[in-house]
Structure 1
Amino acid sequence: MLNALWLGFFIAAAIAGFARWLGAGDATVFAAMVESLFAMAKLAVEVMVLLFGTLTLWLGFLRIAEAAGLVSALARWLGPLFKRLMPEVPEGHPALGLITLNFAANALGLDNAATPIGLKAMRELQALNPSPVSASNAQILFLVLNASSLTLLPVSIFMYRAQQGAADPTLVFLPILLATSASTLVGLLTVAVAQRLRLWDPVVLAYLLPLALGLGAFMALLASLSAAALASLSSLMGNLVLFGLILLFLVLGAIRKVGVYERFIEGAKEGFDVAKNLLPYLVAMLCAIGVLRASGALDLVLDGIRWAVAQTGWDTRFVDALPTALVKPFSGSAARAMLIETMQSHGVDSFPALAAATIQGSTETTFYVLAVYFGAVGIQRARHAVTCALLAELAGVVAAIAVSYWFFG
């Protein structure tokens, strides 16, 4: 699928380029397309420099948290909840710790680091699967919650915004938090309906009800603030939570007598290895999207959507953020490239760029996750996983656009 998507970008660009040349007599289109190839290749390297630092930094701190017992403590705390949501997984099974660690990496916005952990968790769940070719209920719930992209601290989005020169990289913290909560809630509810999970179980309610009430109260507080106050609060909370987590990991590690420096270096080396493998994918996708934009094909598609939206009387500013939403279910690297291209074309703090960043932080590569996670363990029948994951994806996109108008409109 990724092969067809990438090839399709170049074919669409070629068709649009020839149409502009033969139809409009614009012979400069090919020079612009070739120039975009080199410009995007250069941009990919510039982005990678900061990405190396970001992944190295956060996987280092995550390793300290793991060594300090924070992840295992979180797994024990979530154990009663998982016992109700995944009744076929025995208490204390290694899969629960890996699932918790995967959620922790996703919550920090380290999607590339979360993938290898998630694959280990899926293999542990497969060992409990009575039908190896058909996804179990536990595997489906894990995959859908993973695909719903619960992101509490989107450090990679902050990094992209910082690299593009944003005045305040953490400005999108609260919008992403609200939008990703919506996608995760829809993912959980759809799986609960399909699997007949008892969400009204007292133990489940003891976990979920305080979270729901807290989120509702928080949204009520946000509704009372002006746009300027919302932006200020989002910036403050983003930076405060970011630095607070670092202090928590370090202090807890010191209390538990963990060699924090040595553990950090171990995790940092892993982060370096993860980051260096991303450059070819980033170059490939950025170049393809650059050619697509230079040929006029992307603008043609967006103009068509913009016209259709305008006929309904709706505001059309969100349309320029849609490329990220449209390719995100298929490819994380393509969506990442679309986000960066939107920032470059419209300005990093423009409404389309802010909306695209919110979409990127609150959605996941649904088809990629399905293919990789199920393919790694030989699952052939996904059952209701696709439907539930796509509904969560749609909820994330709609919520991201809505909160972008609320915060930045």
Structure 2
Amino acid sequence: MALSRIWSAFIIIAIVVASIKCFFFGQSDIFNWMVIGKADDPANPLKIDGLIETCWTAVNICLKLIGVMALFMGFMSIAERAGGIRLLSRLIGPFFSKLFPEVPKGHPATGHMVMNFSANLLGLDNAATPFGLKAMESLQELNPSKDTASNAQIMFLCLHASGLTLIPVSIIAIRSSLNSANPTEIFIPCMIATFVATMAAMLIVSFKQKINVFQPVILAWVLGISSIIALLVLYLVSLSTTGLQEFSGILSNGLLLLIFFLIILGALYKKINVYDSFVEGAKGGFETAIRIIPYLVGMLIAISLLRTSGAFGIVIDGIKYVCALLGADTRFVDGIPTALIKPLSGSGARGMMIDTMTTHGADSFAGRLSAILQGSSDTTFYIIAVYFGAVNIKNTRYAVGSMLLADLAGIITAITLCYMFFG
């Protein structure tokens, strides 16, 4: 119900704002841009796709996802038949049994969630989505009410949406291409902000589900992960920009190939029919990618209307006006559009970040803040549409509110860190 109200609000607000602009401010072309506008049209004032192009974009995303889904779900199928997922579930079980009390020990869902979190941590977005969708399907098997999100599904999705990432390589590359004097200077604030958002998501959902986060097992895992991240930061700050990018590529892509290698070796040891297992799993990837099309189209058209109507510009101007009225520093406001668009559209937020850095400079306060915000949050509504849509969940309960609160924690942390690191 919450998602339905948000979706309806997006459309209503967008059309009302556009109508006011059309009839009171003489912007007669606004309805045309909202429906048939193309981002690559030189005459398009907002450089944003309209409804028709957005529908094509949604379908293209799903079509491109088919191959990736087939690849990773194929290997996932091999790992399941060889017992790799069960082994992973047993290793992480003591921690997950406390955080996901409804998931039985050793259940495959645990292994799927670990694979998803690991892919996110390494910045492997293409791998994270198939693993995440597989985790949602596994959790759906345990869900007693198939059209309502379970506690475990909400906890998983909120942790996933917090987007804990070690090194934001793509953002560093963009800053480098825009002639930043020190492109890597934002990776520590990004890492800290995503870690805070992840902890906020865990605490918010745990409070709602009455999970005691001060249990020794949970504390041990959280402190252990925190220590590993701290040690990694100490090592990474000693690397040059080129060294950091090379290390990230070796770490992420090397680990991915290592996982594939170990899966095949394990399957051969267990005498599994590797190719048939892969094909069987790949079929599921195709079906899942097709199934999410209507959910993704619905969400993206609402976001498109909200953006093309200019509602975001009104919000930004309002924030800047209030800050100026209160005598507060308004420098952060120029970086805020990235944070507002990121929950709605990853590509839109990336474009906004580049626009901010191009306008104000990659090493300006606004440019640095937009980069940190881009690296410290995730596309919340895209995730909701795709992941809940894949398992036909209609009642998302408190998932949306929890994700947005975690996003807010990440945004506040990002702004605070930007002032601390860059003044």
Q: TM-score, normalised to structure 1's length?
A: 0.69
1:316 maps onto 2:341 in alignment:
no
Q: What is the Cα deviation at residue 88 of structure 1?
A: 7.8
Aligned partner of 2:135: which letter? Answer: I
Residues 83 and 89, structure 1, Cα contact 8 Å, conserved in 2:
yes
Identity %: 26
- CA pair 291-270 structure 1, distance change in 2 beyond 3 A: same
1:114 maps onto 2:129 in alignment:
no
Give the aligned partner of residue 22 of structure 1.
23
Aligned partner of 1:102: which letter? Answer: M
In structure 1, which of residues 241, 244, 254 is the aligned counterpart of residue 254 of structure 2? 244
SS at match of 2:378: helix
In structure 2, which of residues 218, 224, 240 is the aligned counterpart of residue 210 of structure 1? 224
Give the aligned partner of residue 362 of structure 2.
none
Q: How does 1:1-400 map to 2 (within 5 A)?
A: 1-36=2-37, 37=50, 38-83=52-97, 91-92=105-106, 94=107, 97-108=108-119, 109=125, 110-111=128-129, 114-115=132-133, 117-118=135-136, 120-121=138-139, 124=142, 140=151, 143-149=154-160, 151=163, 178-189=192-203, 195=210, 197=212, 199=214, 201=216, 203-204=217-218, 206-222=220-236, 224=237, 229=240, 232=242, 235-256=245-266, 257=268, 258-309=272-323, 311-314=327-330, 315-324=332-341, 328=343, 335=344, 338-344=345-351, 347=354, 350=357, 351=367, 354-355=371-372, 357-361=374-378, 391-399=405-413
Residues 69 and 282, structure 2, Cα contact 8 Å, conserved in 1:
yes
- Provide the C-alpha distance between the structure 2 equivalents of 1:293 and 1:196, rounded to a whole number of angstroms: 38
Q: What is the Cα deviation at residue 214 of structure 1?
A: 1.6
Residues 292 and 389, structure 2, Cα contact 8 Å, conserved in 1:
no
SS at match of 1:39: helix
Q: TM-score, normalised to structure 2's length?
A: 0.67
- Provide the C-alpha distance between the structure 2 equivalents of 1:60 and 1:174, rounded to a whole number of angstroms: 35
Q: What is the Cα deviation at residue 320 of structure 1?
A: 0.9
Greater Cα offset, 370-379 or 264-273: 370-379
Q: CA RMSD in A?
A: 4.9
- CA pair 63-8 structure 1, distance change in 2 beyond 3 A: same
Aligned partner of 1:22: which letter? Answer: F
Residues 318 and 355, structure 1, Cα contact 8 Å, conserved in 2:
no
Residues 148 and 363, structure 1, Cα contact 8 Å, conserved in 2:
no
- Provide the C-alpha distance between the structure 2 equivalents of 1:234 and 1:339, rounded to a whole number of angstroms: 24
- Provide the C-alpha distance between the structure 1 equivalents of 2:352 and 2:238, rounded to a whole number of angstroms: 31
Q: What is the Cα deviation at residue 233 of structure 1?
A: 5.6
Residues 339 and 374, structure 2, Cα contact 8 Å, conserved in 1:
no
- Provide the C-alpha distance between the structure 2 equivalents of 1:406 and 1:67, rounded to a whole number of angstroms: 50
Residues 122 and 373, structure 1, Cα contact 8 Å, conserved in 2:
no
Stretches of structure 1 that go unaligned for 5 or more consecutive residues are 128-133, 329-334
User: 1:16-68: CA deviations, max 9, x gaps?
Assistant: 22322332223222332232233333433444443333333333333343344
Q: What is the Cα deviation at residue 368 of structure 1?
A: 7.6
Stretches of structure 2 that go unaligned for 5 or more consecutive residues are 38-49, 120-124, 179-183, 358-366
SS at match of 1:58: helix
